[in-house]
Structure 1
């Protein structure tokens, strides 16, 4: 594995106030060996270090968040200082941004957003992104809600709600970046795992995805194979 590689897990958890969702997030974080976790729609008005240790593991010792308004919204970013250094952070109305670096690599900005569902706030949200672009210097990546959603039916409806965007200089900094969708049994949003570098000397590991069983024709195809 590349010593400069950073694994970032991104998830619209639809509320970390739900014990089942917290347990699912912990499993995904452990399986992915993520160094940074970005959660949108946390639905949390306050977060403590004790909470972070319970939800993600004791090795996550840094975090920053936007509190939910009532039971809506909320953004949380947590990281393991033994893996990455966060040089700076900023909290805005709809987003959390951290300036991150690993080892002697180049630093870059990571912004996690929760875009408003209310039409009257969309202009303010877009203006916040424009303001961030003007304020942030250097490579920049943006992820979060409203930027793969499944209704978990036999013929699923797939909508691109959660995405990863990056500036040109960020892509030049990480030419071997990898994005993959993880499974989720308790949220209709699929977690995303981003790896800044893929080690070429490792073969690609096969991973069975539980949601395949719900896809029409899967069992017939599996029997043929």
Structure 2
């Protein structure tokens, strides 16, 4: 279980006997608190044989191209990647849009602070997964939907 910035739980799929670990993370606003939440995610790195899905709104992008402006803090991107890489987490590609958040100003900042990440074991058991965001939302954030056209392998 993560602190107030996230929750981790395990789901046991009865028909396949597979354990799925699900972490939902919400990133704090300050850099020091972000680094603490990244370090805590490292604690949850799994051993082989467990599927892991991380749904996140880290309040942080993980690639410079996840923002429409050049004022990206590369050090912050490096810190997040320095957590995702040792956790062996890979991004699930968002199918129908490039950005998930807008500050809703006349000259808007667009970025993708919301993502789903999965480990390799997830890919071995879930095929044809798709991540999509609806075209409209009541806030600056677009909700994300993960679906698979097949069940567990």
Counterparts in 2 of 1:127 and 1:137: CA distance versus 1, 3 Å: farther
For residues 81-96 of structure 1, what are the structure 2 equivalents within 5 Å?
90-96=1-7
Distance in 2 (CA, whole Å) between partners of 1:135 and 1:187 is 38
For residues 135 and 123 of structure 1, the distance between their equivalents in structure 2, rounded to whole angstroms, comes to: 23
User: Partner residue of 1:158?
Assistant: 110
| CA distance 1:102–1:118, shift in 2 (3 Å) | same
Q: TM-score w.r.t. structure 1 length? A: 0.43
| Alignment pair present for 1:126 and 2:78 | no
Contact 1:143–1:164 (8 Å) recurs in 2 = yes
Instruction: Give CA deviations for 1:172-215 in whole Å, capped at 9, x if unaligned.
Output: 211211111024432101000111x215xxxxxxxxxxxxxxxx
Q: Which residue of structure 1 aligns with residue 27 of structure 2?
A: 115
Higher Cα Rg, which structure: 1
How far the C-alpha of 1:112 sits from its partner, in A, is 0.3
CA distance in 1, matches of 2:55, 2:122: 13
Instruction: Supply the distance in 2 between the matched residues of 1:96 and 1:137 (Cα, whole angstroms).
Output: 21
Who is 1:185 aligned against? 137
Number of the residue aligned with 1:139? 51
**TM-score, normalization: structure 2?**
0.60
Which one of 172, 177, 195 corresponds to residue 124 of structure 2? Answer: 172
Q: Which residue of 1 aligns with 2:68?
A: none
Stretches of structure 2 that go unaligned for 5 or more consecutive residues are: 61-99
Q: Secondary structure at the match of 2:45?
A: helix
How far apart, CA to CA, are the structure 1 residues paired with 2:109 and 2:39? 31
Please, which runs of 5 or more residues in structure 1 have no aligned partner? 1-89, 200-225
Equivalent position to 2:149, from 186, 189, 198: 198
> Superposition pairs for residues 21-100 of structure 1, below 5 Å?
90-100=1-11
- Secondary structure of the corresponding residue to residue 125 of structure 1: helix
